[in-house]
Every structure is written in C-alpha cells, then in structure tokens.
Amino acid sequence: MITYYRSNHGALETIDKPEPGCWINVYEPTEKELSWLSQSLDISPNFLSKAFDEEESAHADVDPDNDQVLVIVDCPYIVSEDCQHGKKITQYDTLPISFIFIPKEKYLLTLSLHHNEYLDEFAKKKGNAIDTAHPQQFLLKTLLFICEVYLHSLRVINRQIHEYEKLLRKRINDSDLLVMLDFEKSLIYFTTSLQGLSATVSHVEFKETVHITSAEEELLDNVKIEIAQASEMCKIYTDILEGITDAFSNVLNNNLNTTMRILTGITIILAMPTIIFSFYGMNVAGLPLAELWWYPVLIAVILCVIVFLVLKYTRILK
C-alpha cells in the first residue's frame, strides 16, 4: 500500500498522487507497486531489496548513480498482547523502517515490509511542525519519534516486570518465569536495535550521508540524547530482570532441594519398620520377646522416633 502526504501549515494531509516535496509511505507493497517504485522513481533494485528485507540491519547507504540515499533503522512493534492472571502482557520485537531520499523529485519515502502503526501515529500527531519539503528535518523528527516509542515501550516492559515480580513473590511457577524470559527477549531486541540506531545516526552525522544543516544540529543532538537515554534504560531494565530471574530460579532450586531432603528423611524413617519386621519375620534365633507381636512394633516406633529426632537435629528435616 502506498500513501502520499504533504505538509500544510505544520500538519500532514494525504494527497492523491506524488508531488515535489511530499512524503511517500509504502508498506506491504504489491508487485505492481514495486514495479512503480523501480520504474517511475528510478529506485535501484538493491535499495528496494534492502528496504523490504525483514532481517536487514540498521545502516545508511548511498547510490551515487541515482543520487539517492537509503537509511534503515529498527522500530519497536508489538508482537502479541495476551492476558494472564488478569494482567496484560505485551511482547515486543523490532521491525526495519527504511528511508529513501530522492533529491531530483524532492521525494522522501518510508518503506516497511509490514504495516507500522507508529508511522500512522506520527503522521497524525499534532505539534510536530513537520515539513515534508525538508527531508533531513523530517528524518530527524521521525528518528526522534522512534526514540520516544522505544522509551514508551521500555516503560511498559518495566511496569510488566514489576507486576510479575509481585506475582512471583506469592507463588512461583514455570509459566510466569517463561513470561519473564519473553520480557528479556524484548529487551535484547531493543538493545541490539538501539546500538544499530546509534551507529546509523553517527554515520549520518560524520559521513555526511544525509546533509544536516546547522539549523538541524540541535534536532540531531536531541536524537542522540534520546538514543543514549533509551540505551541506558534498556541496560538497567535488563540488569534488573536478570537479577529477578536469577533470584527466583534460586528459590525454585532451593524449594526442590528442600523437597528432596524431606523425601529422603521420610524414606529413612519408613525404612526402620521394614528392617525390624524383616528380622522378626525371618525367625532369626535369639531375638528378644519374639513371641510377642507388639514388641517389634514398639521397637520400630522407638527407632522411628530416634531417627526423626536425629534428622531434625541435623536439619535434614526442618
């Protein structure tokens, strides 16, 4: 699908066809739309292949033959939203978003393999003061918005971690630990993507892939600050989650050890009657009071009590 936008007094409005200085948003393209991008806009097949590759890493590239620039970054997206124990669980991954600058026609394109609701939110957001006629400014504002999405998503993950920590304090089971593992996966995806985003922004700044004017330097600095903040938050939340997971894994191991210790103690205690009754049952000569049925029972009970007290004293049974 292809949607065209242009600026109108700082806000975005949709238009029916491309015009100089517009923003072209492309996602889930058909073969016909891909052909139009390649033939009408003269975008190289290499750029299109990278732009719609779900596994493509963040980077910036230049096509000197067509005087076009490709910038790829990763943006968070929601993989699933489930409900467990009355709590909403949101799992995240990252999805590449590509920007292509076409200076000749003054077009700026955003391309993604799947529909990205955050781009729609960005287009509808008020107060952005977006000017599609200035693609460098548009790129930086989009990157700034993506950083805000990272920060919001990280806060959601952190809130969910604390909610599940409270549940784990009451009772521990495997399903809850697996949910914590999913949170850790989301944070790992974010960490990797933020590293790529930071490297791409540095490439844009120092290699002059996208020509940043002095008026846009402050916006670029804000982007770098937001990336650094998101990266630091991601590291902190990852460390917290690892600490929580390790702590409750140790609790599970301790519970298992306690259970095994108790079962071992019970087995030893129950073995005492078996030993006594075996001796008396085999008619071993010389056993005292063998003719009295209650005597071996009494000995077995006394031995069980003695063994229990010994195990209690040695803390095998608590």
Residue 318 in any domain: the answer is: no
Same domain, residue pair 188 and 214: yes
Same domain (yes/no): 169, 292:
no
pLDDT at residue 209, as a whole number: 57
Q: Residue 89: which CATH number?
A: 3.30.460.20
Q: What is the pLDDT of residues 56-81, one digit of tens each?
A: 889 888 888 878 889 999 999 888 87
Examine residue 122 and state whether it is found in any structural domain, yes or no.
yes
Q: What is the pLDDT of residues 141-190, one digit of tens each?
A: 899 999 999 999 999 999 998 888 888 787 777 777 788 888 999 999 99
215 and 308 in a single domain? The answer is no
Is residue 101 within 8 A of residue 69, CB to CB? The reply is yes
Residue 135 to residue 106: CA distance in whole angstroms: 8
The verdict on residue 205 lying in a domain is yes
Check whether residue 221 and residue 277 sit in a common domain.
no
Among residues 214, 231, 254, the one where a domain terminates is: 254
Which strand ranges, in their side-by-side order, compose the sheet holding 23-27? 11-15, 2-8, 23-27, 107-112, 87-102, 68-84, 59-63
146 lies in the same domain as 229: yes
Host domain of residue 265: 255-313
Task: List, for residues 26-43, the tens digit of each pLDDT value.
Answer: 988 889 988 888 888 888
pLDDT in tens, 80-96: 877 766 677 888 999 99
Question: Are 250 and 263 within one domain?
Answer: no
Q: At which of 232, 254, 276 does a domain end?
A: 254
130 and 153 part of one domain = yes
Residues 261 and 239 in one domain: no
The residue from 234, 254, 274 where one domain ends is 254
Is residue 14 in a domain?
yes
Instruction: Count structural domains, the chain.
Output: 2
290 and 154 in a common domain: no
- Listed in sequence order, the residues at least 6 apart from 181 whose beta carbon sits closer than 8 Å to its beta carbon are 245
Q: Is residue 165 part of a domain?
A: yes
Please check whether residues 283 and 154 belong to one and the same domain. no
- Enter the tokens of residue 246: 């390790």
Strands 68-84 and 87-102: antiparallel
260 and 126 housed in the same domain? no
Same domain, 306 and 245: no
What pTM, to 2 d.p., does this model score? 0.80
